[in-house]
Every structure is written in structure tokens, then in C-alpha cells.
Structure 1
Amino acid sequence: MLRVGLISDTHGLLRPAALDFLRGCARIIHAGDIGDVAVLEALATLAPVTAVRGNNDHQAVLTGLPETAQLELDHVQLYVLHNLKEMAIDPAAAGVNVVVSGHSHRPLVEEREGVLYVNPGSAGRRRFKLPIGVGELVIDGREVMPRIVELDG
């Protein structure tokens, strides 16, 4: 079994509760709008990090991040991007099992055409009245169990 932590839209704020939740993950995925390279550095002390650039990642070191990432974890194909509306592939046709995104600040777990879409929501500053959250994927062979956890604001 493999536990993958999901975080997005930190906008430079890495909450202690988010770090606590991500502790023990085998890998962490940050779906963009990181805000400060220090966020990635702190996450990297917990597990290897895969991160993509968000539309607000203007810090020089962050502009070099890719807009998308594709990785295979325990026979599961994941595709990561910040804004789901900018997806340039057909994930089902590309053999992707899970799409991880951010941007909207709205938590989402939804299956479409056999592809699981997960947005952990925003772990940074509260936007409007949306929850503050993080997520995880527990991967067991080809089975993926997603979970979103709301953090205290």
C-alpha cells in the first residue's frame, strides 16, 4: 500500500496541520500555486515531491516548474496540472487513472469515464467561504482510495 499526499494552492502558507497530515506519505504532490519555494523545501523533508507551476507562481525558482507532470505509482498512472480547464490531453485515451489538480480551491473527488479526478482544495489562506483542505490517495495495486480532509482555519 502506498500513501500519496495531495496539496494545492498554498500561496506561500504551509500550515502546521497540513504538514502533520502529510507526515508518513511515500510521496507528496503539489498541484500548483505554491507561492514560495520554502513550501516545497518543507514538504521535501517529509517525502519526495512532485510539483507543477500554478498561475500565481511568479517566484523565479517556481517559474521553472513544469505545467504538468505525469508519474506512475504502484501501477497507477497519475497526471498533475494546476487548472483542470487547461488540460490538453484526453486522460482516458492516454491511459491515465487519476488526474490531480488545484486552482479552483474547491475540493473534488469525482470519476468520469473511468478516470478519477481529485482536487484537494486550498491549503493556503481561505478564499471566500471555501474549506481549507489537503488530500491523499491510498494506492493498493490498481485500486485508488481518495480522501479529502478539511483543516481547521
Structure 2
Amino acid sequence: MKIGLLSDTHGWMDPSIFDHFKICDEVWHAGDIGDPKLLPTFAAFKVFRAVHGNIDAQAVRLVYPSFQSFNCEGITIWMVHIGGAPPLYTAEIRAKLKQTQPAILVCGHSHILRIMRDKKHPPLLYLNPGAAGQQGHHSVRTLLRFEINNTKIGNMEVIELGSRVLPNALEREPDPT
């Protein structure tokens, strides 16, 4: 199973995302989708799983929950927009980890690309794909692509989409001096 993972599009979709994810079986979005007009585009493209983020309007929140737990290729996946990062998880995630543990925890929100094992909860793999949109403090827009095969996670790829600030966004007022 090939997975394409993104987050924090904030209502803007780089068309190259569809090229990068064309070989994927599923696309997962870790919140802050932004414009609900993007939802049909995702749904028509691939199997699409998502959670809503803190900037998502009611139209997105009605379709996607704040937290998802699901199985993929025999492993448990948790996906949430704001979950913290190892070892500083949110209270909600810490409470859930006391009860059970997923193989993969997917979070968004920070706009910081991060792939790491949680040493306190091995073998939990923490994934944050960074941000694919133009809004935020990140400098490079990123995605993740990976495989889950018979409970094994592998072929992790970081995809850089380029600068957060696109060339036409750099237009400025002329310098009066």
C-alpha cells in the first residue's frame, strides 16, 4: 500500500501534488485543509483520509473528524492535526497512549517536517509531513510518500515542492528611494 501524506494546505493546492501522489493507493491529510472546495478534488483522486485542523471551517469539520484511528495493512494508524511531538504530546494523545499505542502517529499543525521513532513508546513512528500550502512560517513546502506492506513501513520519501513563497507572490511596492 503506497501512501501520500500531506498537511496544512490552507486552501491552496500545488498541482504537482497530484503528480507526486499518482502512484499512491491512498492520500492522507493531517488537517488545515482550508477551502472546502478542495474536498471533491481529493475525493475524486484517490482514497482520501483526513482530519480537520484548527483553521478548518464547519464545512470541513462536518466531513472530517478531529481524530482518526484506522488500520492499514495490519497496523494501527492515529491521525490528528494538533498532537504535539515526541516526547511532548498533547494531553489527549498522552491519555490515549496510556491505553493503547498505534504503529504510526500522524500529526500536522507545526509546519515542521519530522519523521522519528518515539523512544518512550517504541515502536511508534511519528510522522509530520510539514506543510504543503503557502501560509505559515515554513520556508519549503513538503510532502511524504511511503509504503506499508504486511505490517512493515518502508520506502519513506520526503518530497520538496519548492519555496513557500512563490515567485509571483514576491511582487512588492516599488522602493520610493
- Please give the TM-score of this superposition, normalised by the length of structure 2: 0.79
1:137 maps onto 2:143 in alignment: no
Letter in 2 for 1:63: R
Which residue pairs with 1:23 in the alignment?
Answer: 22
- Which consecutive unaligned segments of at least 5 residues does structure 1 have? none
Residues of 2 paired with 1:24 and 1:149: CA distance? 14
Matched residue SS, 1:56: coil
Residues of 1 paired with 2:68 and 2:137: CA distance? 29
1:94 maps onto 2:93 in alignment: no
Matched residue SS, 1:45: helix
Which residue pairs with 2:127 in the alignment?
Answer: 118
Q: What per-residue deviation string (whole Å, max 9, x for no partner) do you get for residues 23-48 of structure 1?
A: 12111111000001222221222211
Which residue pairs with 2:60 in the alignment?
Answer: 62
Deviation at 1:114, TM superposition (A): 1.1
- Which consecutive unaligned segments of at least 5 residues does structure 2 have? 85-89, 164-177
Which residue pairs with 1:51 in the alignment?
Answer: 50
Q: Is the 8 A contact 1:97 1:116 kept in 2?
A: yes
1:149 maps onto 2:159 in alignment: yes
Letter in 2 for 1:81: V
Q: Is the 8 A contact 1:106 1:131 kept in 2?
A: no
Which residue pairs with 1:6 in the alignment?
Answer: 5
Q: 1:105 aligns with which of 111, 117, 127?
A: 111
Paired residues in the alignment total 150
Bigger-Rg structure (1/2): 2
Q: Is the 8 A contact 2:30 2:80 kept in 1?
A: yes
Aligned-pair identity (%): 28
Which residue pairs with 1:77 in the alignment?
Answer: 76
Residues of 1 paired with 2:143 and 2:68: CA distance? 19
Q: What per-residue deviation string (whole Å, max 9, x for no partner) do you get for residues 69-127 of structure 1?
A: 01111112110000123324107x52410011100001010001210000111000053
- Please give the TM-score of this superposition, normalised by the length of structure 1: 0.90
Q: Is the 8 A contact 1:57 1:63 kept in 2?
A: yes
Where has structure 1 moved over 4 Å in runs of 4 or more? none
Q: Is the 8 A contact 2:112 2:138 kept in 1?
A: no
